[in-house]
Chains A and B, each alone.
Chain A
């Protein structure tokens, strides 16, 4: 009698996929229902991460446009709590610091800004009056919603430029209208667009430096100096400003970075999402339990098939592989559906809010990887049970 070498033939990848999907193809409804848990879990996680990443991308885009290279110098508190003043020539001195590109200054005035003289003086509408120099607009990277910015020509006449909030509050919609300041009418020569980095300017009415001095009793001391430097020199400039502005009392000068609040917001964007991510994780876990449950039922139902395959020469390993593959396919399908759903949800959110659509690749990869891990874990126990099944018991008629 010829004796053949006995070593089991291994299944090719296509055959593994084929036997692994056989159970799923005959029960599509069960596949949908048991993959649903995983799909919901992954969709939640992708949407949570995607929405926060989209919001963050929008903030960063905004920061990019506004620039993070602007600093504001203002008078601090004096040693004894008294209000100190910045020297009149300090804007020029700041402009001479290495790396500084643009400088602008404002000086606070006390007069109220009203629509007409008939409105009582107390009703300021929260609008502050400031003297502004010509360089301010460029330093802020601001633009005009209408009219023109203060210049040498209109700065000498009683003309005023309104921040967009002030214009709204005063009910001014176009240049050429008049407002009542310090006992006389000023002509609105321009209205500014919003300035996210300088909300205090949005709420101001700005008059030219010479006009403020002549008509409104401005003492010429700036209260805020805005400067923009090269990106590389921001830190050096920040260190130099106090000594440059007030060499004797550098501690009287306070320097702030208006973009830092936005930067901090961008950095913390997504912190609140941990809770939602946790919820997604729980859904994922429940989905995994659902898959394990389905697999156990599948093994019980297909005892005969397992016995038959063993009788046809399947090794224990091949039976295990079949059921782990089935479980992987089940959870992988759920994962794919979840990725599509989560990305779609993010898209809807982004499109409706007019923000960029960002679904981080690490979230997609991580989510899919998680489903594969869950699929393996959920399928392992049922698969081992299937492989351990005695072929004779499996073949017994129920």
Chain B
């Protein structure tokens, strides 16, 4: 259980939905306005050339939520994720992440914000070739300021948590697709981010490995992690407690299946 507590984000709350009075419990009030991890207000992203990828998106993600952002191809899901993850800035509207208004932050401070608060998982894994799974995970802490030995120790714990304790020294080309994605998830959560953003994490996987990855995300969420999963697969989206539907750069539906929790 040590590994588990290491992985949960900064302020781990109770992991069961038993207490309806707990303000941090997503089941009690998933969009608790007093403690949002992310808040988007009227976010618009227009690319030069006139393409508006996002048009006035309002979105609030509370601590310990697990939500799906779902929509057809080209609807603006990745753009939304990049803006939530501070990799890109909106052309209009406000983004508040972990209490910081990102419009006021320099590129340096945004980098620090990402290092401390956000973890990314990508469809194509983006593991560094030629280095072991453990070193790949430890790279996730490289910009955190932790000493190397501590980074490697936490990386081992994180790999253990995603069920790859026996693959520590395997290099990416020696891992299956599902295993690579689990390494990538370990790398994203090793820094205990406030928010885990996954862009089509199962997009490159067969259905069995995809299901395993989704199960892992569910487990991490149960331990308190706040996770946003982008998918165009309604079946996957349907398994998650909250679904935000996007079409043509706008939020067309925000559905909570509270019973799921």
Task: Give chain B residues whose Cβ lies under 8 Å from the Cβ of A392.
Answer: 82, 87-88
Closest Cβ of chain A to B61, distance in Å, is 12
Say whether A8 contacts B111, CB under 8 Å.
Answer: yes
Given A25-B130, A391-B88, A392-B82, also A6-B144 (CB < 8 A): no
- Closest residue of chain A to B122 (Cβ to Cβ) is A395
Closest Cβ of chain B to A393, distance in Å, is 9
- Closest residue of chain B to A3 (Cβ to Cβ) is B99
The contact of B36 among A1, A9, A14, by CB within 8 Å, is: A1
Assess whether A221 is interfacial by the CB under 8 Å rule: no
The A304-330 residues at the B interface (CB cut-off 8 A) are: 304-305, 307-318
The contact of B128 among A1, A305, A318, by CB within 8 Å, is: A305
Say whether B131 contacts A312, CB under 8 Å.
Answer: no
- Closest residue of chain B to A390 (Cβ to Cβ) is B88
Report B's interface with A, CB cutoff 8 A: 10-11, 35-37, 82, 85, 87-88, 98-100, 105, 107-109, 111-118, 120, 122-124, 126, 128-131, 139-140, 142-145, 147-148, 187
Scan A3-23; emit 1 where CB is below 8 A from any B CB, else 0.
110111111101100010010
In the bound complex, how far is the Cα of B109 from the Cα of A239, in angstroms? 79
Task: Give chain A residues whose Cβ lies under 8 Å from the Cβ of B140.
Answer: 312
Closest 8 CB pairs of A and B: A313-B115, A9-B145, A313-B143, A26-B130, A3-B99, A315-B111, A8-B112, A1-B99
Given A9-B144, A19-B142, A311-B87, also A395-B109 (CB < 8 A): no
The contact of A318 among B109, B143, B147, by CB within 8 Å, is: B143
The contact of A316 among B107, B116, B126, B139, by CB within 8 Å, is: B107
Task: Give chain B residues whose Cβ lies under 8 Å from the Cβ of A8.
Answer: 108-109, 111-112, 115, 143
The contact of B87 among A7, A318, A391, by CB within 8 Å, is: A391
- Closest residue of chain B to A25 (Cβ to Cβ) is B130
Closest Cβ of chain B to A193, distance in Å, is 67
Assess whether A275 is interfacial by the CB under 8 Å rule: no
Given A2-B10, A304-B126, A318-B143, also A312-B115 (CB < 8 A): yes
Say whether A313 contacts B100, CB under 8 Å.
Answer: no
In the bound complex, how far is the Cα of B141 from the Cα of A66, in angstroms? 70
In the bound complex, how far is the Cα of B142 from the Cα of A104, in angstroms? 82
Say whether A313 contacts B107, CB under 8 Å.
Answer: no
Assess whether A397 is interfacial by the CB under 8 Å rule: yes
Scan A362-392; emit 1 where CB is below 8 A from any B CB, else 0.
0000000000000000000000000000111
Task: Give chain A residues whose Cβ lies under 8 Å from the Cβ of B116.
Answer: 4, 6, 313
Task: Give chain B residues whose Cβ lies under 8 Å from the Cβ of A390.
Answer: 88
Say whether B112 contacts A7, CB under 8 Å.
Answer: yes
The A8-49 residues at the B interface (CB cut-off 8 A) are: 8-12, 14-15, 19, 22, 25-26
Task: Give chain B residues whose Cβ lies under 8 Å from the Cβ of A7.
Answer: 108-109, 112
Say whether A313 contacts B122, CB under 8 Å.
Answer: no
Task: Give chain B residues whose Cβ lies under 8 Å from the Cβ of A311.
Answer: 85, 87, 114, 118, 120
Say whether B109 contacts A397, CB under 8 Å.
Answer: no
Say whether A314 contacts B88, CB under 8 Å.
Answer: no
Say whether B99 contacts A11, CB under 8 Å.
Answer: no
Say whether B112 contacts A1, CB under 8 Å.
Answer: no
In the bound complex, how far is the Cα of B120 from the Cα of A315, in angstroms? 16
Task: Give chain B residues whose Cβ lies under 8 Å from the Cβ of A4.
Answer: 98, 116-117
Closest Cβ of chain B to A384, distance in Å, is 14
In the bound complex, how far is the Cα of B107 from the Cα of A47, in angstroms? 48
Task: Give chain A residues whose Cβ lies under 8 Å from the Cβ of B105.
Answer: 6
Say whether B131 contacts A314, CB under 8 Å.
Answer: no
Task: Give chain A residues whose Cβ lies under 8 Å from the Cβ of B35.
Answer: 1
What are 15 pairs between A and B in contact, CB < 8 Å?
Answer: A1-B35, A1-B36, A3-B98, A4-B116, A8-B112, A8-B115, A12-B147, A26-B130, A310-B87, A311-B118, A311-B120, A312-B143, A313-B116, A392-B88, A397-B123
Scan A245-282; emit 1 where CB is below 8 A from any B CB, else 0.
00000000000000000000000000000000000000
Say whether A308 contacts B126, CB under 8 Å.
Answer: yes
Given A6-B105, A313-B143, A314-B143, also A22-B113 (CB < 8 A): no
Closest Cβ of chain A to B134, distance in Å, is 14
- Closest residue of chain A to B127 (Cβ to Cβ) is A308
Task: Give chain B residues whose Cβ lies under 8 Å from the Cβ of A307.
Answer: 126
Say whether A313 contacts B111, CB under 8 Å.
Answer: yes
Say whether A15 contacts B142, CB under 8 Å.
Answer: yes
The contact of B100 among A6, A9, A11, A312, by CB within 8 Å, is: A6
Task: Give chain A residues whose Cβ lies under 8 Å from the Cβ of B124.
Answer: 304, 397
- Closest residue of chain A to B108 (Cβ to Cβ) is A315
Say whether B126 contacts A395, CB under 8 Å.
Answer: yes
Say whether A6 contacts B113, CB under 8 Å.
Answer: yes
- Closest residue of chain A to B105 (Cβ to Cβ) is A6
Task: Give chain A residues whose Cβ lies under 8 Å from the Cβ of B145.
Answer: 9-10
